[in-house]
Amino acid sequence: MGHIIPLVEFSRKLVLLHHHECTVTIIIPSLGPPPEAQAQLLQTLPPAVSHVLLPPVDPTILAHVSTDAKLFLTVDRSIPHLRGAIAALAREFPLAALVADIFGTDAFDVAREFNLAAYFAVPSNALTLALCSYMPKLDAEVSGDYRQLAEPIRLPGCRFAFPVGDLHPSILDRKSDAYERILRHAKRQRLADGFIVNTFMEVEGEIIEALRGEEFANGRPIFPIGPIIQSTITDDGRIFRATRQNECLEWLDSQPPASVLFVSFGSGGTLSQEQLNELALGLEMSHQQFLWVVRSPNTTRDTNASYIGPQSNSNPFNYLPEGFLGRTKGRALLVPSWAPQIQVLGHRATGGFLNHCGWNSTLESILNGVPLISWPLHGDQKMVAVQLVEHLKIALRPIAGEDGLIRREEISKVVRGLMVGEEGLAVRNEMNVLKEAAKNAMSEEGSSTKSLELLVSQWKNRSGEPSLGT
């Protein structure tokens, strides 16, 4: 969902701003029937945006591999079906471009077969694109385990360096079942005719300019078209669970301005049982108001697995420390599994957001001016955390112990620091500056608006009335 949402919203924006010129088809590889949240999202698409669910991949080929490897394998095995889907579309529309997600560079070959421009879409930030550009060089220059590197990693355009341990886990471990696949796609990204990134110049301009000047881009355009976030208004409202939404917003209505910490780990992030306990007790110790989206703990130590696999149907409140609900009654609202995040972040009572450093959630926070507590779980989230804390200075980050756990005392300290401390005031001020920059980027004459218009003009030049395959 973290990839589908920005691509859906990108498609929605294309047809709303250029409705006489663009139609879009979203093509989705799958492991089976779409999850409920995905199905509801797709039901909200405007008429000019359609979607195709490719036939499910044989699940037996995905047994005993990591989540990252499953994603790559699913797309790889779906390429023949993608070819058939595009052939069917080409019989109906004058196609102009194929936009491939970060896992789908093999789709570039299909685009060439149909004489389509091939674009690489980064649903996250320019930092991810910088890592993609740097990875082949890192692989060629370093032998052995990356963990043995003495110096931190510095990516193109980054004034800040990354401790090696903050690299994407599947990149850090060269023996992982996903490493060679990631490396292969990092090399193939250079085959794209252009790059579309869900970011804006005011937040990552240095990285984008550095990539434009690198051999990586080699004259091909990079289009920062963000921040693109999930729409708060849909055609029929079915994507929102009205009862839960009302519960959250009514509770927030009763709280003082900027007094509530919102706690959520994205569309599927989970914690271990021990870490769940520490988080609960840390929130309690902080004596701050909070709204927490609680999920059942993971049992596989894979904090990423629930993003593409089934989530637990058990009551997550059963896993909380004994007496916790009673002790926090009145200053906390706990909801199981889901909350209307965009409305919560936009509410006057929300004064902070403890989250997993997913880029979608980060952009939603920026647009609402809500400062962050960074708690990365997997993927590129540790790198994003470094960016938010060290460079943009819009977040605080709790420190884990040697055993990897973030203890209750540390959680309480950071929560109080954000909500009522001097460091929180400084972070809040930086976030307000970035909020205005994001609005400016999306304005009529803003950098992202102009970037999107330039992208569409390129597609129009390829075909009089383009249909855009995503």
Residues noted as catalytic: 3, 101
Query: Amino acid identity of 281?
Result: L
Q: Are 400 and 425 in contact (CB under 8 A)?
A: no
Q: Please identify which residue in the block is written with the tokens 């896992």.
A: 103
Q: For residues 434 and 446, give the distance between their C-alpha atoms in angstroms, rounded to a whole number.
A: 14
Cα–Cα distance, 45 to 359 (Å, whole number): 22
Is the Cβ–Cβ distance between 27 and 85 less than 8 Å? yes
Q: Is the peptide bond before 256 cis (omega within 30 degrees of 0)?
A: no
Residue partners of 2: CB distance under 8 A and separation at least 6: 123, 266, 267, 307, 358, 359, 360
